[in-house]
Amino acid sequence: MCVFTFQGQIELFAKHTGFMWEIAEEFKAKIVFAEHRYYGTSMPFGKKSLDKEHIGYLSSAQALADYADLINFLQGNVVKPRYPVVAFGGSYGGMLAAYFRIKYPHVVVGAIAASAPIHMYPGMAPCGVFNRLVTSSFKTVDINCSNNIRQSWAVIRNYTATAAGQEVLSKSLNLCSPVKNATDLDKLMEFMQSMYSTLAMVNYPFASDFLTSLPAEPVRVVCQYLNETLAGEKLLKAIGKVVDIFSNYDKKNSCVNYKEGDDYGNLDAAGWDYQACTEMVMPMCSNGVNDMFEPQPWNFTTYSEECHKKYGVYPRPEMARLEYGGNRLQAASNIVFSNGLRDPWTGGGILDSLSDTVRAVVIVDAAHHLDLMPSNPSDPEPVKIARNIHKQHITRWINQFREQLMTTRKF
């Protein structure tokens, strides 16, 4: 039996995580996709779930308790469970899979934690690492690409200074509404920054509609428009082509709705935003030197005040570290942390094995949890190897469970 945990609409993840479907028969496994409370349609208070009065029941600890309850139910609510359960997850779901094994080692025999930024907490990873790795994805394709993007921010700002400039900008980027004021500009900048991050995250070797519809090797595709030094309107037009590929690869949108603020395509941003304001504090910053973004320092005080304004809560920056092991994950067992080197979240990942049973698998040429996706003719060799390693660990965990089952004390 396998349980796969993820934030967002569960159907999306069920569709895009073919690895488990593919190995299920071999392991004679039942596959269960459990939707995280407060995501998708799992809203405990319906439309009021995200209100201040009701959102307090959204936490990773409660989600894990839900999964434990669910598995207990599926095991038949017996004192001695008969079926080994393996947890799978990618991204935050990967963190949850690892946390599940840390907190409920008696419920799951092991966890495959793919692309889990489990060290992306205050004091544990440099705040600039994510943006540096996003940049690296673009720079690796062509240094002109990242340089042009770095130049583009000032150009965009310049063009918003006049009405004529606004029109050029709007037209070049095919925006649904012009950038008229500072608020609009902030939204556009956020949209652009999120776009580059997403492109790096889903830089898969095949066309995919996982977070948004994109061609194979999307970073390479967009960089072909930025492969020589550009400036002014020419640069804007090139960026416009990048935006068009990102927003309209499936030709469904007539213009770019940068105000929507849907940071990660298909993911539910609202629930995560609250969790980031309570337990999942992940410092992010940029300096425009090591990365291609505008300089933006990490300021916990501002961050904290904004959280309080939005939800009436102050974040607890040390909470996730305390609850889930921080730098002492070698105290746990039976966890595989896999990370693709194309994935910017790898900056918060475990890249070295910590013990005999807490293992790191580093995958060259792989983006965000590619190893959990359906196998594809375009898969790079390293991801095939990683999937085989996963299977070996799963086999070992299941055998261990079976041996223990036979030697456990009886009443």
Q: Cα–Cα distance between 367 and 340 in angstroms, integer? A: 5
**Site membership for its own copies, residue 352 (CB under 8 A):** yes
C-alpha distances in angstroms, 113 versus 9, 19, 379? Answer: 19, 13, 19
Annotated catalytic sites, by residue? Answer: 91, 343, 368
* 38 contact partners, CB below 8 Å, separation of at least 6: 44, 49, 50, 55, 57, 58, 271, 274
Which residue, chain included where needed, has tokens 């669910």?
70
Residue among 18, 126, 178, 374 that touches its own copies (CB under 8 A): 126
State in angstroms the smallest separation of the CB of 332 from its own copies.
6
Per-residue x/- marks for its own copies, 329-348, CB under 8 A?
A: xxxxx---------------
Question: From the CB of residue 395, how many other CB atoms can be counted at a distance below 10 Å?
Answer: 12
Total number of residues shown for the chain: 411
Could you say whether residue 327 binds its own copies (CB under 8 A)? yes
Residue 213 has a CB neighbour count (10 Å cut-off) of: 17
Among 16, 36, 37, 321, interactor with its own copies by CB under 8 A: 321
> What is the total count of residues that contact its own copies (CB under 8 A)?
39
Residue 326 interacts with its own copies (CB under 8 A): yes or no:
yes
To the nearest 10°, the Cα dihedral for 58, 131, 13, 277?
10
Asked whether position 37 contacts its own copies by CB under 8 A, the answer is no
Stretch that binds its own copies, among 10-18, 34-42, 73-81, 234-242 (CB under 8 A): 73-81
Considering the rule CB under 8 A, would residue 123 count as an interface residue with its own copies?
yes
Does 409 bind its own copies (CB under 8 A)? Our answer is yes
From the list 15-23, 136-144, 214-222, 320-328, the region that binds its own copies by CB under 8 A is 320-328
Residue of 184, 273, 318, 365 that binds its own copies (CB under 8 A): 318
User: For the sheet containing 2-6, what is the strand order?
Assistant: 31-35, 2-6, 86-90, 110-114, 335-340, 358-363
The distance of closest approach from Cβ of residue 320 to its own copies in the complex, given in angstroms and rounded to an integer, is 12
Residue 80 within binding range of its own copies, rule CB under 8 A: yes
**Segment interacting with its own copies, rule: CB under 8 A, options 26-34, 206-214, 275-283, 403-411:** 403-411
**34 part of the interface to its own copies, by CB under 8 A:** no
125 part of the interface to its own copies, by CB under 8 A: yes
Q: Residues 8, 128, 218, 325: which binds its own copies (CB under 8 A)? A: 325
Residue 142, Cβ density class (10 Å: 0-12 exposed, 13-18 middle, ≥19 buried): middle
Query: Which of 328, 381, 395, 399 is close enough to bind its own copies by CB under 8 A?
Result: 328
18 part of the interface to its own copies, by CB under 8 A: no
Q: Which residues bind its own copies (CB under 8 A)?
A: 65, 68-69, 72, 77, 79-81, 102-103, 105-107, 109, 123-126, 318, 321-333, 351-352, 354, 404, 408-409, 411
